[in-house]
Structure 1
Amino acid sequence: MAARRPQQTRGHHTRTAVLEGAGRVFDRSGFSQASLSEIAREAGVTAGSMYFFFPSKQDIALAVIAEQNARTAVALQAAATASSPMRGLVDASRAIADQLLADPLVRAGIRLSLEEGTLSVPTNGYYRDWIAGVAGQFRLAHAAGEVSPAFGDDELALTLVPYFTGVHLVSNVLTGRADLYPVLETMWRVFLSGVATPEHAAGLLEHARRGFAGRPVAIG
């Protein structure tokens, strides 16, 4: 078994290189315009080694989406352990914004999952998982008295997830996400002003202001 470890390690590195290279290509070009030869070249691997792990471009795209989901899910997992559920959710959105600015694979995964009809396999399961996770965070926020009982957990999640998604996509179209932090701060000011309970509103709004202070990092 020990003799196989170097080969297994090389295989892991190759697979990772393909995903990272594909992320950069899909981020630039989208699914339809990307080619397998371009992905192999970007990844610095041979076509044969790429095909060993991913028989088709769709297989690569689905793996990129899955990896993106795993990377961004870390932020929501951290939010679940925060002492303030809503502050944790604000922090999670900032962490994902940081990833959008710095990680081409994260940008590519989100782009691919939104290219409706491009892939033959549905990708909406990832968004359903995200909405369910955010709804769970709102459940904690309701228990902590941070958000109004006038809104249900699912209602809030089905509002916030599309809101966040739309804000960062429009920011990309208009400024290449150069204004991502300010527009996300505005999003939170609007959202919290509508749903936070009076005793928590001021503190949550200040947390959002501080959380998105500063300039975005250069897009990687």
Structure 2
Amino acid sequence: MWPTQGAVPTNSAYYWCMVQQARAHATREQLLDAAAILFGRHGYGAGIADIARTAGVNKGSLYFHFESKEHLAHEIIRLQHERSTAVDDSSLQNSPPIVRMIAITLRLARQALEEPTVKAGLRLTLDSSSFEVAPREPFTYWIQRFTELLEQAVDDGLVTSRVPPSHFARIAVSIYTGAQLVLKSLGQEEEFLTESVSDAWNALLPALLITADEQTISAILEEAMMLGERRTLTIG
């Protein structure tokens, strides 16, 4: 039986098992951190050898934890999606649905700037043509979530029903992903990303709202910007 109380003898099999597990976990985390940095810079074109070198391990160690570069990339995307869904937290639950949706897109834009894993995961998702199995969940999840929020806004009499909520939901997703893609290519991502997302909503709200006067639009954007600036808990 394994020891359950007191110090574990350093010459026991259980002790060495724990040591090996801790080392394996640390190596895996080093590889994920290195992959996030290099995938964030180079997309799927980042080399396995470069990732291993940045992590301070050999390629054999990398392949022990991840069977291929695609497997590693999919894990980065999974972590990115896990962290991104966390932005839709309890601090938004009492906000009008349209405010909540805009605040989420602003938080997602900020995450893409501040968190290497999120930045890398989003870039890999946008570069999905390189994958044998294209990663769609990060997009389909938010399309569904934004559709739900827009349907609530329609029911509340805030948003027009002339355009199906699912159509506007796709536009909402493209606001922050498209802005990141374009601004990254221009080298202006850090300077203008959140501003570009806000500007896009300022242009779209008149077509979306039933009452689209300047005062209403300003109030919605002001509240969304305030909520969008709030820090959210990072997972992992």
Output the TM-score relative to the length of structure 1: 0.84
Could you list the per-position Cα deviations for residues 41-98 of structure 1 after superposition, in whole angstroms to 9, with x for gaps in the alignment?
A: 2223343332221011111111111111111111135576243222222221221122
CA distance in structure 2 between the aligned counterparts of 1:117 and 1:140, rounded to whole angstroms = 34
For 1:54, the equivalent position in structure 2 comes to 66
Question: Among residues 204, 207, 212, which one is paired with 2:223 in the alignment?
Answer: 207
Change (3 A) 1:6 1:93: farther
For 2:34, the equivalent position in structure 1 comes to 21
CA distance in structure 2 between the aligned counterparts of 1:140 and 1:8, rounded to whole angstroms = 47
Report the count of equivalent residues: 212
Structure 2: segments with no counterpart, 5+ residues: 5-13, 230-236
For 1:171, the equivalent position in structure 2 comes to 183
Q: Pairwise mapping of residues 184-195 of structure 1 onto structure 2 (< 5 A)?
A: 184-195=197-208
CA distance in structure 2 between the aligned counterparts of 1:64 and 1:119, rounded to whole angstroms = 13
Change (3 A) 1:172 1:78: farther
Cα drift, residue 39 of structure 1: 0.6
Say whether residues 1:68 and 2:84 are aligned partners. Answer: no
User: What percent identity do the matched residue pairs reach?
Assistant: 28
Q: Which moved more, 1:84-93 or 1:202-211?
A: 202-211
Q: Pairwise mapping of residues 32-181 of structure 1 onto structure 2 (< 5 A)?
A: 32=45, 34-78=46-90, 81-177=93-189, 178-181=191-194
CA contact (8 A) 1:36 1:57 kept: yes
CA distance in structure 2 between the aligned counterparts of 1:80 and 1:212, rounded to whole angstroms = 9
**Secondary structure at 2:81 match in 1:** helix
Bigger Cα Rg: 2
Change (3 A) 1:91 1:8: farther
For 2:24, the equivalent position in structure 1 comes to 11
What RMSD, in angstroms, separates the aligned Cα atoms of the two structures? 2.5
Change (3 A) 1:126 1:208: closer
CA distance in structure 1 between the aligned counterparts of 2:159 and 2:182, rounded to whole angstroms = 27
Cα drift, residue 141 of structure 1: 2.3
Amino acid at match of 2:202: R
Structure 1: segments with no counterpart, 5+ residues: 214-220
Output the TM-score relative to the length of structure 2: 0.79
Q: Which moved more, 1:51-60 or 1:90-99?
A: 90-99
